[in-house]
């Protein structure tokens, strides 16, 4: 499930008419990275929780017959196969609306009727993860029934804890952190650890009963974290320390860094990126 119904206000005015999830990192929109990560994890059914003004996301995953014909006529076969690969078959893509931006927990609740499985994966497209193995694949491979709700986690700087859900660590083994609690956006003084929740989840279907009764929390939004916390007595909470670098593309700094990091993956781009960055570093003395 991809909740993509947020306002994206930190990226205004860019997000006035373009969904945040359609912001481009090098040559692909954020949401495409998220779908590719899910596909690499073996996922075959993609639910997008959208809202008004987000139709560009549906268009992006659709076939575009006119463009395809034109590229074919012009013998641009590489580009043609790229845009065909991007499309999702109608049987695999489902779009559902969140009528009001009431928070991530509420967005997930809007897709309740589409989930039959015991557990389902959630990916937040604005967290982009550069890794050898898809982060969601790592999570699914390591998931065991006793893990309950699983969240991706990473250590963050103390001054950043107030931006995240933070885990209270009960025990730590290998890549897994067993958490006895999670708190959304604590102050530095109140933060129980520096283990932050990142936008990848494997959630038990039973979460819907909790989301349905959840009162608004931090930011007056229905917070997913609050329902995960309420489930803990009966459903474990496991943090998974993934291998890879994560970039918060919901912020300008994170988005800019993601562009540099992904450009560095491409030898062609690297050949001009290095001299380009050195030129700016010299000119601006950083």
- Residue number with the smallest Cβ distance to ligand UTP: 6
Is the CB of 14 or the CB of 232 nearer to ligand UTP? 14
Using CB atoms within 10 Å of the CB of residue 265, give its burial: 0 to 12 exposed, 13 to 18 middle, 19+ buried: exposed
Q: Which of 1, 23, 104, 128 binds ligand UTP (CB under 6 A)?
A: 104
Question: Binding to ligand UTP by residue 217, rule CB under 6 A?
Answer: no
Site string for ligand UTP, 155-194 (x = CB under 6 A): ----------------------------------------
Question: Binding to ligand UTP by residue 125, rule CB under 6 A?
Answer: yes
Nearest to 140 by CA among 165, 156, 123: 123
Nearest to 207 by CA among 127, 122, 141, 138: 122
Is the CB of 124 or the CB of 152 nearer to ligand UTP? 124
d(CA 114, CA 122): 13
Buried b (16+ CB within 10 A) or exposed e, 159-184: eebbebbbbbbeeeeeebbbbeebbb
User: Nearest approach, Cβ of 172 to ligand UTP (angstroms)?
Assistant: 27
Question: Binding to ligand UTP by residue 211, rule CB under 6 A?
Answer: no
Q: Give the interface with ligand UTP as residue ranges (CB under 6 A).
A: 3-10, 20, 49, 98, 101-104, 106-107, 124-126, 250
């Amino acid at each position: 499930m991809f909740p993509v119904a947020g306002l994206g206000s930190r990226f205004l005015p860019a997000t006035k008419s373009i969904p945040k999830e359609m912001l481009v990192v090098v040559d692909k929109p954020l949401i495409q990275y998220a779908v590719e990560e899910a596909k690499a994890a073996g996922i075959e059914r993609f639910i997008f929780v959208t809202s008004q003004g987000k139709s560009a996301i549906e268009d992006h995953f659709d076939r575009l017959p006119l463009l395809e014909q034109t590229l074919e006529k012009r013998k641009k076969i590489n580009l043609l196969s790229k845009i065909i690969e991007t499309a999702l078959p109608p049987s695999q893509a489902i779009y559902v609306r969140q009528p009001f931006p009431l928070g991530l927990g509420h967005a997930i609740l809007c897709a309740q009727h589409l989930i039959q499985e015991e557990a389902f994966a959630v990916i937040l497209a604005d967290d982009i993860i550069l890794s050898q193995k898809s982060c969601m694949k790592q999570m699914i491979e390591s998931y065991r029934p006793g893990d309950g709700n699983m969240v991706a986690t990473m250590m963050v700087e103390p001054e950043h804890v107030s931006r995240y859900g933070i885990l209270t660590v009960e025990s730590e083994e290998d890549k897994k952190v067993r958490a006895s609690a999670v708190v959304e956006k604590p102050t530095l003084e109140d933060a129980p650890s520096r283990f932050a929740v990142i936008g990848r989840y494997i959630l038990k279907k039973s979460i819907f009963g909790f989301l349905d009764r959840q009162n608004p929390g931090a930011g007056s939004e229905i917070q997913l974290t609050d329902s995960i916390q309420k489930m803990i007595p009966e459903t474990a909470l496991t943090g998974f320390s993934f291998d890879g670098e994560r970039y918060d593309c919901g912020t300008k700094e994170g988005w800019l860094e993601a562009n540099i990091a992904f450009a560095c993956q491409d030898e062609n781009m690297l050949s001009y990126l290095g001299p380009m960055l050195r030129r700016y570093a010299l000119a601006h003395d950083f």
